[in-house]
């Protein structure tokens, strides 16, 4: 089993490096140095923010947008190399006559997605029995694992399609403090409603139901809920846990399905974003502190997952809904008052 985990980890790292299309140890630097190296402090802060918030129903993307703003990583001024020549995310071409200049904000927005690799590793380490069962299911040796895989793929499909269609529009229009405020408020209202609905239901079905036993139609419903999380600040974890409630899962089981679905969804999003802008991000930040942030995110995410499962079983989502309203209120006071 340890060999399986080590091989999986090595494969995941290789996939990440391939997505960036850079060899390990390369910084794609200007005169051998990154254009604007991410500091140790910035890397640790962003790693902690991602790890703690990725699986809590409070939105990791929203918190990372806020963190980038506070750390002054959201500048849209075009970057230049040491000779004063512009750095390009996409060089001028027939498709992009004016080119797409490389900016600190573009690199930071990409990092906000790529750092999710730490959260992926955390779920891989904590939920390896379920993931190993899926592998056995593919070999015809674990029917439960195969059913779980079916439900994860069915739930993944809606957000994958919508995300591919709206990816550029979301990047251009929704990575802002204003969008995060709206999503935090809307998400809190949804959570209050979901908790009231759950408490009115009988617990007989949900207590016996586990993610592998969900009918495919209910898994698809969770996937539709996950589409809401494409709006930064909404929270993928929140929408899928709420979707799990509506599908008949008790809180701990809903969280488990959310984590496993996140393993699939975040892997796809990380690789896709890496293929798009990973090399540009490394040009700006270099490798060293990007990897540091991912390590910090892994440890923080593992702790957050353990906390959330225990807390949801006893208290539900209400506290997190109030937290979201508090965050929205603080942002309104700081940036719009």
CA 306 to chain centre: 17
Share of residues in the chain with pLDDT > 90 (%): 59
What's the CA gap between 37 and 284, in Å, rounded?
A: 6
In Å, how far are 75, 240, 277, 284 from 105, measured between CA atoms? 5, 28, 12, 10
Q: Give yes or no for a contact between 230 and 159, defined as CB atoms under 8 angstroms apart.
A: yes
pLDDT digits (tens, 9 = 90+) for 145-167: 999 999 999 999 999 999 999 98
Report field, pTM of the whole predicted structure over 0.85: no
pLDDT digits (tens, 9 = 90+) for 23-80: 333 334 444 455 566 789 999 999 999 999 999 999 998 899 899 989 999 888 888 8
Q: Give yes or no for a contact between 222 and 240, defined as CB atoms under 8 angstroms apart.
A: yes
Looking at residues 263-276, what average pLDDT do you find? 89
Helix (H) or strand (E) holding 89: strand 88-90
Looking at residues 298-327, what average pLDDT do you find? 95
* Residue 1 resides in a domain: no
**Domain extent at residue 266:** 11-336
pLDDT digits (tens, 9 = 90+) for 203-232: 544 456 889 999 999 999 999 999 999 999
* Residue 2 resides in a domain: no
* Residue 183 resides in a domain: yes
* Residue 105 resides in a domain: yes
Backbone φ and ψ for 88, nearest 5 degrees, come out as: -115, 135
* Residue 243 resides in a domain: yes
Q: Looking at the 3D structure of the chain, how many domains does it have?
A: 1
* Residue 17 resides in a domain: yes
């Amino acid at each position: 089993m340890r060999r399986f985990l080590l091989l999986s980890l090595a494969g995941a790292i290789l996939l990440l490096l391939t997505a960036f299309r850079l060899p390990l140890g390369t910084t794609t630097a200007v005169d051998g140095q990154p254009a604007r190296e991410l500091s140790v402090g910035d890397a640790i802060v962003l790693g902690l923010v991602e790890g703690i918030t990725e699986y809590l129903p409070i939105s990791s993307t929203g918190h990372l947008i806020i963190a980038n703003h506070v750390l002054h990583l959201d500048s849209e001024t075009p970057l230049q190399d040491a000779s004063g020549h512009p750095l390009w995310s996409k060089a001028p071409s027939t498709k992009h006559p004016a080119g797409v200049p490389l900016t600190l904000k573009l690199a930071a927005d990409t990092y906000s997605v790529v750092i999710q690799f730490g959260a992926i590793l955390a779920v891989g380490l904590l939920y390896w029995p379920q993931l190993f069962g899926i592998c056995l299911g593919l070999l015809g040796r674990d029917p439960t694992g195969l059913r779980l895989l079916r439900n994860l793929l069915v739930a993944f499909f809606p957000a994958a399609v919508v995300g591919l269609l709206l990816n550029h529009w979301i990047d251009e229009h929704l990575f802002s403090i204003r969008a995060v405020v709206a999503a935090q408020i809307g998400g809190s209202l949804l959570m209050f409603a979901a908790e009231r609905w759950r408490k009115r239901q009988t617990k007989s079905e949900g207590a016996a139901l586990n993610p592998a036993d969900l009918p495919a139609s209910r898994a698809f419903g969770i996937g539709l809920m996950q589409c809401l999380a494409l709006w930064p600040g909404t929270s993928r974890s929140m929408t899928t846990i709420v979707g799990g409630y509506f599908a008949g899962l008790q809180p701990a089981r809903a969280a488990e399905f959310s984590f496993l679905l996140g393993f699939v969804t975040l892997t796809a999003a990380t690789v896709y974003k890496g293929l798009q802008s990973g090399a540009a991000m490394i040009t700006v930040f270099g490798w060293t502190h990007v990897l540091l942030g991912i390590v910090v995110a892994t440890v923080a995410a593992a702790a957050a997952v353990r906390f959330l499962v225990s807390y949801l079983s006893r208290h539900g989502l209400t506290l997190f809904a109030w937290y979201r309203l508090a965050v929205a209120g603080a942002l309104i006071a700081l940036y719009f008052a």
